[in-house]
Amino acid sequence: MTVQPLDALNVAHHDADILRMSNIRMKFGSVEILKDVNLTLRRKEIVGLLGANGSGKSTLIKVLAGFNSPEPNSVVRLWGETLPLPLDANRIRQMGVAFVHQHLALVPSLSVIDNMLISDTSRRPYGIRWRAEKRKIQTLLDEFGLAIDPTATIETLSPVERAFVAIVRAFAELRRSDAGRAGEGILVLDEPTPFLSVEDVEKLFGVLRNIKETGASVIIVTHDIDEVLSLTDRVAVMRDGRLAAMMKTNETTRQEILDTIVGRATSAYVRAPRTTPGAPNVSIQGLSGGRCTSFDAEIKTGEILGVSGLIGSGFADVPYLLFGAGDGAGQITVGDSDLDAARLPPAKAHAAGVALLPGDRMGQGGIATLSVAENATFLALPRMKGGFGISQAKMTTATQALIATHDVRPANARADLGNLSGGNQQKVLLGKWLAEKPKLLCLDEPTQGVDYGARQQIFKALDDAAADGMSIIVASTDHEQLAQLCDRVVVFRRGEPVLTLSGPDVTKDKIARACLASDVPQSQNSQLTEVSA
């Protein structure tokens, strides 16, 4: 692609900074969220924006997108032009800035085509040529190597497919802009990778590198430091609403970035030595449903069992089948309760001591518009009764105890759950289930979109629960998380387990190799007797 000067946008090509955000301050009520943030972006550059949950990353991105109105004296310069604040969202897009926001901004009941066209303001007044649009969108999906039906509704797609629809839509917006047509532009991605497999992440990164070579620039908000180190030119770290550091990626290390995020020297949570897990507490026989075709396992009292594999290999269905949140088959024994997976409503599973924390925390795990207290005590409402119905005092007391135990920030029981950062939302929802003391806790990607510090707190909470006798099963594609947390890891392929790693073999590298291997030697399959014995 030939890069032409953006005369129409008055681009100052002698100025290396195509975007300059200066002295950005932002308040929600009396609480100052952003404190004099200064961020720059250069042509043909990829900048990684990191920070703990609640550090202000997404708030800063929403200022750029025109969703948030910053305080007076904040300054945004784009292509050499100082823009009036708050920014006009339509003008920002027309000037060549495209966004993929954290919650994707897709309409579940509409088709892929509908969602792709929502942001296209170039439509002619005489209507939409649907066949032509379908062909155009199919071509775009094919360009990304995505086997997605343009006529499918968003609600029927998997989380990874939804994420790619949002990303492809942003690329299409960028191409339609004045900057995009000239080979330039800015793509902003706010946490785009939590739903993506290792292969899909690398596919996305390949696309980002390609658009960088055409002259465009990228800002990517993420918690994954390894992703940042492999992709970016510079790393911007936010802490407590301020820009704590701006570093050249090739001149820094993973540990330096971690320490900057946290604000002090830090290390990963290390499980305390404990005795071998006790007697079998959970027995699973012939479990199937979704893409899981067969799974047998025993989970001991106090054991944390991981299940993993490539996206679509079937492991991700296991937690939901155990909780009755899917059409399944097989026999499950939890303590003294025998459950038939073919006739297992979630209420019956819950009564037997099974709990589920789903991966889609705001879609399935919690209610964003209800308060922290309402979400935290939902399962315990029978215990919250007072003389005249539900006691608000009891709810508040129970919630404040949960907040203190799990270090939820802000420590406000009345705040809407949706206004908390992802990591703090997860701590509330996990604390809700841990307070019930289930016999079997099922987790799907428990630290997805959670910052490093909050991850360590969640790991400790789960480890403490296991030490108290709880059995836990964790479904995840985060191999580092599984290695840090689990006693054993079962790797799935084509719907069934093919390998079990235990003891010193539970490492990030060995889990990754097992998931990516095209085949597993028959001799290794003998280790599965640990699961089904």
Residue 203 banded pLDDT, cuts 50, 70, 90: confident
Q: How far is it, in rounded angstroms, from Cα 466 to Cα 63?
A: 42
Tell me, yes or no, whether 379 and 240 share the same domain.
Answer: no
- pLDDT at residue 277, rounded to an integer: 66
Please tell me the predicted confidence (pLDDT) of residue 121: 63
pLDDT of residue 434: 96
CA gap 454, 272 in Å, rounded: 18
214 SS3 class:
coil
Whether 327 and 457 share a structural domain: yes
* Mean pLDDT for all residues in the chain: 86
How many domains are contained in the chain?
3
Are residue 250 and residue 310 in the same domain, yes or no? no
Do 17 and 87 fall within a single domain?
Answer: yes
The lowest-confidence range among 153-162, 419-428, 509-518 is 509-518
Mutual angle of helices 392-406 and 422-434, in 10-degree steps: 110
Distance (Å, whole) CA 176 – CA 116? 12
Verdict on whether the full-model pTM lies above 0.85: no
Do 391 and 462 share a structural domain?
no
The percent of residues above 90 in pLDDT, for the chain, comes to 56
Domain membership flag for residue 269: no
Contact 167, 113 (CB under 8 A): no
Domain that holds residue 459: 280-353+438-532
Measured CA to CA, the distance from residue 119 to residue 108 in angstroms comes to 15
Q: Is residue 461 domain-shared with residue 375, that is, in the same domain?
A: no
Kindly state the percentage of the chain with pLDDT values over 70: 90
> For residue 448, what pLDDT is reported?
82
39-76 pLDDT tens trace: 999 999 999 999 887 788 989 999 999 999 999 999 99
**What pLDDT does residue 2 have?**
31
Q: Which of 419, 437, 455 is the last residue of a domain?
A: 437
**395 and 406, same structural domain?**
yes
Q: Is 458 exposed, middle or buried (0-12, 13-18, 19+ CB in 10 A)?
A: buried
Asked if 159 and 225 sit in the same domain, the reply is yes
| Local confidence band at 167 (pLDDT 50, 70, 90 cut-offs) | confident
In a domain, 359, yes or no: no
| Residue 40 counted as domain residue | yes
| CB proximity list for 267: less than 8 A, separation 6 or greater | none
Report d(CA 238, CA 261) in Å as an integer: 7
Question: What are the Cα distances from residue 349, in Å, to 78, 353, 475?
Answer: 55, 7, 18
Instruction: Identify whether 181 is part of a domain.
Output: yes
- 487 by Cβ neighbours in 10 Å (0-12 / 13-18 / 19+) ranks as buried
In the listed set 407, 437, 467, which residue is the last one of a domain according to the structure? Answer: 437
Q: Average pLDDT, stretch 463-492?
A: 93
Residues 58 and 179 in one domain: yes
Which pLDDT does position 464 carry in this prediction? 94
pLDDT at position 5? 33
Q: Is residue 423 part of a domain?
A: yes
* pLDDT value, residue 112: 95
59 is written with which tokens?
Answer: 């708030």
Domain-located, residue 2 = no
> Does the N-terminal peptide bond of residue 86 adopt cis geometry, omega within 30 degrees of 0?
yes
Q: Residue 528 has what pLDDT?
A: 39
The answer to whether position 79 is within a domain reads yes
Amino acid at 259: D
307-338: pLDDT as tens digits: 999 878 999 999 999 999 989 999 999 999 99
Cα–Cα distance, 118 to 516 (Å, whole number): 37
Separation CA 164–CA 115 (nearest Å): 12
Are residue 52 and residue 33 in the same domain, yes or no? yes
Which of 400, 422, 437 is where one domain is finished? 437
The predicted pLDDT at position 132 comes to: 87
If you average pLDDT over residues 492-498, what whole number do you get?
94
In a domain? residue 272: no
Which CATH number belongs to the domain containing residue 307 in this structure? 3.40.50.300
Of 112, 451, 78, 515, the C-alpha closest to 312 is: 515
- Residue 168's pLDDT is 87
CA 308 from centroid of its chain's CA atoms: 17
pLDDT of residue 284: 97
Q: In this predicted structure, what is the pLDDT of residue 226?
A: 85
Report residue 297's pLDDT band, with 50, 70 and 90 as the boundaries. Answer: very high
Q: Specify the pLDDT at position 76.
A: 97
Tell me the Ramachandran region of residue 300: left when phi exceeds 0, alpha when psi lies from -120 to 50, beta otherwise: beta
Both 110 and 204 in a single domain?
A: yes
Same structural domain, 320 and 203: no
Residue 524 has pLDDT above 60, yes or no: no
